């Protein structure tokens, strides 16, 4: 299952964790996805949506 927001398309970003001694190790940061029941063309559907989309009102809940 992909970790992508169904509304805005937000996906994991890749970068480095950098220590104080500047040792770098690869890491990923994942979006905060929630499974939400929402209305889509008059039908109930479950979608994986990031919390920023939920807060901004882009998701229409029943």
With respect to residue 6, please indicate whether it lies within any of the assigned structural domains.
Answer: no
Domains in the chain: how many in total? 1
With respect to residue 3, please indicate whether it lies within any of the assigned structural domains.
Answer: no
With respect to residue 45, please indicate whether it lies within any of the assigned structural domains.
Answer: yes
**Complete DSSP assignment for 1-37:** -----TTT----EEEEEE-TT--EEEEEE---EEEEE
Q: How many CA atoms lie within 13 A of 5 on its CB side?
A: 19
Band the pLDDT of 13: cuts 50, 70, 90: very high
With respect to residue 1, please indicate whether it lies within any of the assigned structural domains.
Answer: no
How many other CB atoms are found less than 10 A from the CB of residue 38? 19
With respect to residue 37, please indicate whether it lies within any of the assigned structural domains.
Answer: yes
pLDDT of res. 62: 84
With respect to residue 27, please indicate whether it lies within any of the assigned structural domains.
Answer: yes
- Alpha helices (H) along 1-62: 51-56
pLDDT at 14 over 80: yes
Residue 52, domain extent: 13-56
pLDDT at 1 over 80: no
With respect to residue 8, please indicate whether it lies within any of the assigned structural domains.
Answer: no
């Amino acid at each position: 299952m992909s970790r992508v927001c169904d509304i805005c398309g937000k996906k994991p970003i890749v970068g480095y964790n950098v220590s104080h001694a500047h040792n770098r190790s690869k890491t990923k940061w994942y979006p905060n996805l929630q499974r939400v029941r929402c209305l889509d063309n008059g039908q109930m559907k479950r979608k994986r949506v990031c919390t920023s989309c939920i807060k901004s009102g882009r998701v229409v809940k029943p």
